[in-house]
Amino acid sequence: MDNFEPKIVAFCCNWCSYAGADLAGTSRMQYPPAIRIIRVMCSGRVSPFLVLKALSVGADGVLVLGCHPGDCHYIEGNYKTMRRIPLLKKVLKQFGIEEERVRLEWVSASEGAKFAEVANSFTQSIKNLGPSTLDNLKQSSKGAKHG
Amino acid sequence: MAKLKIALYWAASCGGCDIATLAIGEKILKLAEAADIVFWPIGLDFKYADVEKMPDKSIDACLFNGAIRTSENEHVAKLLRAKSKIMIAYGSCSYEGCIPGLSNFYNRQMTFEHVYIETPTTDNPGKIFPQTKVKVPEGELELPEFYDTVKTLAQTVDVDYFVPGCPPEEKTTWLALEALITGKLPPKGTVISHAVKAVCDECPRKKGEKKIKKFYRPYEIVPDPEICLLEQGLLCYGIATRGGCGALCPQANMPCTGCYGPVEGVIDQGAHFLSALSSIIDSNDPEEIQKIIDDIPDPAGTFYRYSLPDSLLRRARIK
């Protein structure tokens, strides 16, 4: 397991967490290359579908990062995320997937250090869990319904 | 015009879809005028060998109900695909996996142990399980192989159309049959239903702002007959389910369970219901949110009741 390099998708909201990630970069803070950032307008845009999609095509872990409660650019987008992720985790557990593979964190635009810290600790926890076994059922044989 | 040749088949299903094809009532006379049934195991005495002898593409349309769970299901699906010009996944089982597909939360061994040992009415001290081959004095007997994972029809063969429902409503069935009879067929891959929008669009209940403090199961409350069931805390699946049924269940004071599958453009029905449902929880406090969520006893089974094999994850991972 020593040479396991996880693939981690991090959904970052445009207004806080993406700027936080940017700050971590411009401040030359170190965080693992396992993190693949996808910028979305709001953490409320991160439908559970996107998290499941990332997991089903081979992500070993998914981070959902948004503005702190009360700071959402769209007033309450992150509250919706706050309600969705716990229910999604419950569903994942029933699917036999470790709920630790999905983590929700609040990272503001000024928290470059927190972004790096979350990226580090999440990567470490995924390394401890080992590779996800989810991509063993490839989606290529999906029927005509999905084109 | 020569009569159409139609085949009907049942794979892993309950038989309800075959009854649903008969539910079209007197329209069955119109069907009989336009079409001959060349294969229908539940209704007419044909053998697989009869189908094997038919030339390829000699059947105009096959209405295939049931999911693919055994090697027999798969064999007949492939056979009928080869013999039919049009393959229709009829009903939720062949379209999305439906109730038989819920066994994808388990594997073959767990299913066998439950069915052949654990059920209270079973007495099986020798722990005898079905085998694909067994020797008896008269010779060797064969049974189809029982697969670990239930699949949809479209995951097995190329499918032209989908008819949703558990079982499909009479008017939905007729919409598909009428298209066949008149030859006015929609584009390949169409889910044939009167609606592309959600069940809520057809539901006559009064709808307001949705905020939920507590979820209830249907036996726990007597819901108000006028107000949206979801607003009353019942897990009504109408918001994430294709209409076309006429919102029958909500009108009978029962929440929609999602049998018509996802609305147009949605791939994973369960994920979308999860998303919509959790968004309307009326709390901004993580602890209270967790408490409200804990009132849903089996979220994965509820959200994927009809669509587990067709979902992104398809099955649970068993360690």
The beta-carbon neighbor of B316 closest among A84, A95, A143 is: A95
Site of tokens 């008017």: B171
Residue of A nearest to B104 (CA): A95
Looking at the fold, whether B38 and B158 belong to one and the same domain comes out as yes
Residue at B310 is within a domain: no
Say which amino acid occupies B73. Answer: N
Q: Please compute the mean of the pLDDT values over residues B41-67 and round it to a whole number.
A: 95
Residues B156 and B68 grouped into a single domain: yes
> What does the pLDDT read at residue A146?
40
Domain end position, chosen among B157, B182, B207: B182
The pLDDT value recorded for residue B2 is 84
Q: What is the mean pLDDT of chain B?
A: 95
Model confidence at A138: pLDDT above 60: no
Euclidean distance between CA atoms B53 and A139, whole angstroms: 35
Task: Mark whether B158 and B250 lie in a shared domain.
Answer: no
Domain count, chain B: 3
Label residue A144 by pLDDT band (50, 70, 90). very low
Q: Is B190 contained in some domain?
A: no
Are B161 and B224 within one domain? no
ipTM score for this prediction: 0.92
Q: Which residues make Cβ contacts (< 8 Å) with residue A65, sequence separation at least 6?
A: A10, A11, A12, A13, A16, A17, A20, A21, A43, A104, A105, A106, A107, A115, A118
List the 62-91 stretch of A: residues with Cβ below 8 A of B.
69, 79-80, 82-84, 86-88, 90-91
Select the residue from A49, A57, A136 to test the B interface by mutation, using most B Cβ atoms within 10 A: A49
Task: Please give the residue range of the domain that contains residue B130.
Answer: 107-144
Triad B19, B22, B23: Cα angle to 5° = 90
Give yes or no: residues B35 and B111 share one domain.
no
The per-residue DSSP string of B127-196 comes to: -----SEEEETTEEEE-PPEEEEEE-STTTS--SEEE-SSSPPHHHHHHHHHHHHH--PPPTT-B-SS-S
Reported as a pLDDT band with limits 50, 70 and 90, residue A1 is low
Residues B227 and B215 occupy one common structural domain: yes
Q: Is 60 exceeded by the pLDDT of residue A147?
A: no
In a domain? residue B118: yes
Assess if residue B188 is contained within a domain: no
State the average pLDDT over residues B52-57. Answer: 97
Q: Are residues B136 and B209 part of one domain?
A: no
Residue-range domains of chain A with CATH: 8-146 (3.40.50)
Hey, are the CB atoms on B267 and A49 less than 8 Å from each other? yes
Query: Taking chain B, what is the end-to-end CA distance rounded to the nearest angstrom?
Result: 58
Q: Residues 79 to 98 of B: which have CB under 8 A from any A CB? A: 95
Backbone angles phi, psi at B306, to 5 degrees: -110, -5
Q: Do the Cβ atoms of B159 and B88 come closer than 8 Å? A: yes
Q: Is the pLDDT of residue A143 over 70?
A: no
Separation between Cα atoms, residue B66 and residue B14, nearest integer Å:
8
B180-198 pLDDT tens trace:
999 999 999 999 999 999 9
Inter-chain CB proximity B271 and A47 less than 8 Å: yes
pLDDT grade for A137, boundaries at 50, 70 and 90: low
Please give the Cα distance from B71 to A61 (Å, whole number). Answer: 35
Mean pLDDT of B149-154: 97
Same domain, B35 and B165: yes
- Subunit contact B281:A143, Cβ cutoff 8 A: no
Distance of alpha carbon B257 from alpha carbon B101, whole angstroms: 15
Helix (H, G, I), strand (E, B) or coil at B317: coil
Q: What is the pLDDT of residue A3?
A: 83
Q: Which two tokens stand for residue A99?
A: 């709920």
pLDDT tens for A37-93 read: 999 999 999 999 999 999 999 999 999 999 999 999 999 999 999 999 999 999 999
Percent of chain B with pLDDT over 70: 100
For residue B243, being part of any structural domain is answered with yes
**Widest CA span in chain B:** 70
B80 and B162, same domain (yes or no):
yes
Helix, strand or coil, per DSSP, at residue B59 = strand
Select from B191, B283, B316 the Cβ nearest to the Cβ of A94.
B316
- The nearest alpha carbon in chain A to B281 belongs to A83
Which chain A positions have a beta carbon within 8 Å of B267's beta carbon? 49, 146
pLDDT digits (tens, 9 = 90+) for B57-116: 999 999 999 999 999 999 999 999 999 999 999 999 999 999 999 999 999 999 999 999
- CATH code of B8's domain: 3.40.50.700
Stretch B41-66: mean pLDDT: 95
Same domain assignment for residues B61 and B171: yes
Residue B308: inside a domain: no
| A22 CA: distance to closest CA in chain B (Å) | 28
Angle, alpha carbons B5-B11-B14 (nearest 5°) = 110
B102 reaches A (C-beta below 8 A): no
Q: Which residues contact A69 (CB under 8 A, 6 or more apart)?
A: A78, A79, A82, A106, B284
Residue B316 lies in a domain: no
Place of tokens 């539910």: B23
For residue B214, which of B226, B228, B229, B232 has the smallest C-alpha distance?
B232
Residue B96 lies in a domain: yes
Q: Please indicate, yes or no, whether residues B140 and B251 belong to a single structural domain of this protein.
A: no
Contact yes or no for B274 and A91 at CB 8 A: yes
Q: What is the pLDDT of residues B158-173, one digit of tens each?
A: 999 999 999 999 999 9
Q: Does B266 share its domain with B160?
A: no
For the stretch A94-114, pLDDT in tens is: 999 999 999 999 999 999 999
pLDDT at B145: 96
